[in-house]
A = this chain, B = another copy of it.
């Protein structure tokens, strides 16, 4: 049935993958070693533009930060799908580093990061989608974006 693929579940949520983002400097979107994909830090790109700029706890509220985290994850998944062909090749989501552009006293990075983590659990299911994670506050991020996420994924052999 159609809802059996991560792509179909995305569609059922009213979401879709953007085109895989262009690297903004001298790097590539991911590297695979054996069955482990190490994916570059991604930002909140929509329609070719970086949106969701500014710091949590200063310019951006938590709910908006969650939307940013979800959009970052859609971009990251677009990079992964461009390489693997099908998101179903993901055996397990292994680990995320969720980096939140934070005012010095902002302390709700885990809530912001759920915008990305919830999406992964939703589309891959709890067993494959649940992951290790750090969600932390950065002093600054490229282009002033609010959230950047890098990830490690296990692929089917």
Inter-chain contacts of A113 with B (CB < 8 A)? 25, 27
Q: How far is the CB of A35 from chain B (nearest CB, A)?
A: 7
Q: Are A139 and B137 in contact (CB under 8 A)?
A: yes
Measured CB to CB, the nearest residue on chain B to A96 is B27
Q: Are A27 and B107 in contact (CB under 8 A)?
A: no
Measured CB to CB, the nearest residue on chain B to A91 is B33
How many chain-A residues does the 8 Å CB contact rule pick out?
Answer: 60
Measured CB to CB, the nearest residue on chain B to A129 is B26
Q: Which one of B38, B121, B133 contacts A95 once the chains associate, using CB atoms below 8 Å?
A: B38
Q: How far is the CB of A67 from chain B (nearest CB, A)?
A: 16
Listed A/B pairs (20) with beta-carbon separation below 8 Å: A24-B110, A25-B113, A25-B135, A27-B96, A27-B130, A27-B132, A28-B131, A31-B92, A33-B154, A34-B34, A38-B132, A40-B95, A41-B133, A97-B134, A99-B134, A99-B136, A104-B140, A107-B140, A107-B144, A109-B140
Interface residues, chain A, with chain B CB atoms under 8 Å away? 24-31, 33-36, 38-41, 55, 57, 92-97, 99-100, 102-111, 113-114, 117-118, 121, 130-144, 148, 150, 152, 154
Of all A-B residue pairs in the complex, the 4 with the closest CB atoms, nearest first, are A137-B140, A41-B134, A139-B139, A27-B133
